[in-house]
Structure 1
Amino acid sequence: SEMTNIIQLSIRLKRAVIILNIVLLNFINCNSKKADFCLISRFVGEEKRVLWNTSALWSQNSTVPEDLKQRLSVVSRDNISSYMIQNLTHSDSGQYQRECWGNVTYEKNITIIICSTINEDKDIQVRVGETVDLPCEGAADNLDIHVTSVMDNVEGKSQEVKTSSGLRIYNLTLSRFKYYNCLVMNQQQCVSSHPVELKLPGEGILHTVGETAVLQCRAAEFTDDQPPLWKKYNGNDSFSEVGKNYSLVFSSLQLNHSGLYHCVIYNHVQRYHLVVCPKSVLVSDY
């Protein structure tokens, strides 16, 4: 079978060493239990250059440039071989491919973009149906911008418009609630990277013992083909499933109903903090 996996990412140029096992964990490795050997290649224009052959790493027929060969090394652990490139440069940007043969035959593609600087991740909370601006600092310097994103395969009617300072998304749908990365480009070189992740806002709900509470998964109102999954946080990164309907209903609240509830749909999470207070005790002078 053949698989193609294209991911766009950026790597901080100032770091002296990047281990691709960390950056490309599912791309450049060869598990001896699944494949007999793998070829790692890079596309340079129309030419496809073989960088690594796991059965003969430094073959005399290798088309690896000497400069790159001097910066390559291998890290092996638990029958998985990963490849490390030292002293990254902008010229290392490009499209790479892994082809493996054996019990499982497949190929994967990935695009690597080397940036001079990478900014901290920025979270933006926004509701479904709203308009959101994804800023790209540095774009005002008359440099080109290129926006990459990782999104679900969910049909939506959002409209994306590239502006002079970033990206504007109208009528935001669930399919757009993902990770974006704005790259400021100077010709073919990435000057800076500005990652942004869109998240659904949380909501606090206050009730009294004995009352009825209804937690509505508002994000689920915009999709018809998949109900949400409700989970309650139990502490220590542990969750328990508490429902699969569009609304989570508590007909007679108790103190132990207090807690954090997550509505999960299409791998997106909407958070609710339910606080249940005891009934007020009336103090009489009589």
Structure 2
Amino acid sequence: MTCIKFTELLLFLLLKKVSSQEPETVLRENGTSVVMGYCFGADYIVVYRSAPDGEQLLGNSSKKNLPNTPPADLQGRILMNEDENLLGMHIIELTELDSGIYRRECWQNHTVAKNHTEQLFVCKEEISPEEIHMNNEGGTEIRCNSASVGLEGNFVRWYQELHPDYKSTLLLDSSVSLEPVIKEMQGFVEARENGALLVLHKTVLQNFPQYYCVVLKGKTCLSFQNIYLPDRSESKEVFVSKGERVVLNCTGNGEHLQWETPLGQINNSSPSNNQMYISAGREPASFSLIIPVISDKHSGTYSCIAPLFEIEYSLFLCPQNTLLKKVACKGENVSLECSPGLDNHKRVQWYRRVQQETYEIIGDTNDESVIIPNDLKDRVKLSDSGLLTIFGLDIKDERMYKCVVINEFVDNLNTEDYNDEDMNEDDFSDEEHSNDIASFVKHPRSSDLSILASVVMTGTTGVSTDAIFQVLTPGPDPE
């Protein structure tokens, strides 16, 4: 095992070295445009193109009072972006003759702060991109789907993008050999069908999530295609209160998975403690982060980092939840009011519990793109004021629902928003009152009773209100 890990590390370092030595490959379709990189925070940018008799000056943004005179074939097709914080040069309406090597210099304080070289290929056709699908062993086969593959005189080049820089580097050139350019990759990459098909070992996929195949005839680029692993990165918000137990879900290969937390780095070999730990779930590939008891120091960002994806959780610490109950009959409609009298500056989100410590979002007043769960489609409505209505109640709707109110324009938490006058002592039992839990029951044939709660979340501090709906099947009326 140690030997294998050492080989993977060596492979990664070798490819990093090659990537830094070679010009970055840029692929574009005929008729499109390209930006010759950007200079961030530089004083000015200078761009050159390689030619048989030396480099040709294409543009110099420092000569603001003098016109740039690029070569005749580029006149009228070069645009300079002169934003003082983002300098760049665009070439529009690309042709095959624009293929070549370009170099840009970023100048700052009369010194070249950055020197970058790119090799541009302008191809006749861009093939539609395709996703990579891994097999059970974690490897895959990828194919170059161009109709030009296999024709006489044509050959295939494969490029890969190295994480985390994502710079294209040459992987294989079928006109030279069907072996990878780097000898150390032999055994991890196998070319078949004259280079049209690559068989990739899982070790390679852990470091190179994106590939390009390019079909050439001589120096002419006929086509290129992007073949990539789908981006599984996610970003989620979690609203919790002190004393709660929290589970942050993540699925992946535990051997190459780690968590970045406000309290440091954790992996599956880290010892368990009272702060947090990784626990394998019911599924073999589940490595959830468990926080047994939430305290002030747990608020912040948590990232589950794996070779092929990253899941980021933003954990907001809220005051103690208020538990509110409603009872309604099957088939009825029920409305939940998160907080009376909300103004337009506040944002309301609604969640429902799917597992013991897991909630899924079912509505957001500021985001219409929230995906409604299939069983709630056409049965749930969220008003601009944050009122959540569920129509045609079913037994499956009996569960915990949580609302969160976010005030993005207020800096301080306003505890005065809680209106104690609206709450009657008769609404509390002794046990519930001692735990700051309010229980409101809507009987099947009683008048509506609004849920009384007022919540505000500001910055990285939030308040959430939970509501339990107990859906009952209608029985006979009491005498």
TM over 0.5: yes
Partner of 2:28: 11
For residues 161 and 124 of structure 1, the distance between their equivalents in structure 2, rounded to whole angstroms, comes to 16
How far residue 160 of structure 1 moved from its aligned partner, in angstroms, is: 1.5
Counterpart residue identity of residue 79, structure 2: S
How far residue 145 of structure 1 moved from its aligned partner, in angstroms, is: 0.8
How far residue 91 of structure 1 moved from its aligned partner, in angstroms, is: 1.5
Scaled by the length of structure 1, what TM-score is found? Answer: 0.64
For residues 59 and 267 of structure 1, the distance between their equivalents in structure 2, rounded to whole angstroms, comes to 48
Query: 187-196 vs 144-153, which deviates more?
Result: 144-153
SS in 2 for 1:195: strand
Partner of 1:111: 119
Contact 2:209–2:308 (Cα < 8 Å) also in 1:
no
How far residue 71 of structure 1 moved from its aligned partner, in angstroms, is: 2.4
Contact 1:118–1:194 (Cα < 8 Å) also in 2:
yes
* Structure ranking higher in helix proportion: 2
Partner of 2:191: 162
Given candidates 55, 77, 87, the residue that maps to 2:93 is: 87
Partner of 1:189: 220
Partner of 1:69: 75
CA deviation string 1:249-271 (max 9, x = no partner):
5599xxxxxxxx98422463489
Count of matched residue positions in the alignment of Structure 1 and Structure 2: 237
How far residue 158 of structure 1 moved from its aligned partner, in angstroms, is: 6.2
Counterpart residue identity of residue 136, structure 1: C
Given candidates 305, 308, 328, the residue that maps to 1:264 is: 305
Structure 2 counterparts to residues 100-139 of structure 1, below 5 A: 100-103=106-109, 105-126=113-134, 129-138=137-146, 139=149
Given candidates 53, 56, 78, the residue that maps to 1:49 is: 56
CA deviation string 1:78-137 (max 9, x = no partner):
554432323211121122111133236221122221111112221113268533111101
* Structure ranking higher in strand proportion: 1
For residues 126 and 5 of structure 1, the distance between their equivalents in structure 2, rounded to whole angstroms, comes to 29
For residues 263 and 123 of structure 2, the distance between their equivalents in structure 1, rounded to whole angstroms, comes to 42
| Percent identity (aligned) | 18
| Distance change in 2, residues 1:52/1:201 (3 Å) | closer
SS in 2 for 1:141: coil
For residues 101 and 65 of structure 2, the distance between their equivalents in structure 1, rounded to whole angstroms, comes to 21
Counterpart residue identity of residue 141, structure 1: L
Q: Which has the higher contact order (CA 8 A, sep 6+)?
A: 1
Scaled by the length of structure 2, what TM-score is found? Answer: 0.41
Partner of 2:253: 219
For residues 22 and 190 of structure 2, the distance between their equivalents in structure 1, rounded to whole angstroms, comes to 26
Contact 2:258–2:305 (Cα < 8 Å) also in 1:
yes
How far residue 6 of structure 1 moved from its aligned partner, in angstroms, is: 4.0
| Distance change in 2, residues 1:177/1:195 (3 Å) | same
**Larger Cα Rg: Structure 1 or Structure 2?**
2
Given candidates 127, 146, 153, the residue that maps to 2:157 is: 146
Gaps of 5+ in 2: 1-19, 166-183, 234-246, 269-286, 293-301, 313-352, 357-398, 400-479
How far residue 193 of structure 1 moved from its aligned partner, in angstroms, is: 1.2
Contact 2:59–2:68 (Cα < 8 Å) also in 1:
no
Partner of 2:335: none
Counterpart residue identity of residue 104, structure 2: R
SS in 1 for 2:163: coil
For residues 92 and 244 of structure 1, the distance between their equivalents in structure 2, rounded to whole angstroms, comes to 50
Contact 1:153–1:175 (Cα < 8 Å) also in 2:
no
Contact 1:214–1:249 (Cα < 8 Å) also in 2:
yes
| Distance change in 2, residues 1:117/1:84 (3 Å) | same
Structure 2 counterparts to residues 218-257 of structure 1, below 5 A: 218-221=252-255, 223=256, 227-229=257-259, 244-246=266-268, 247-248=287-288
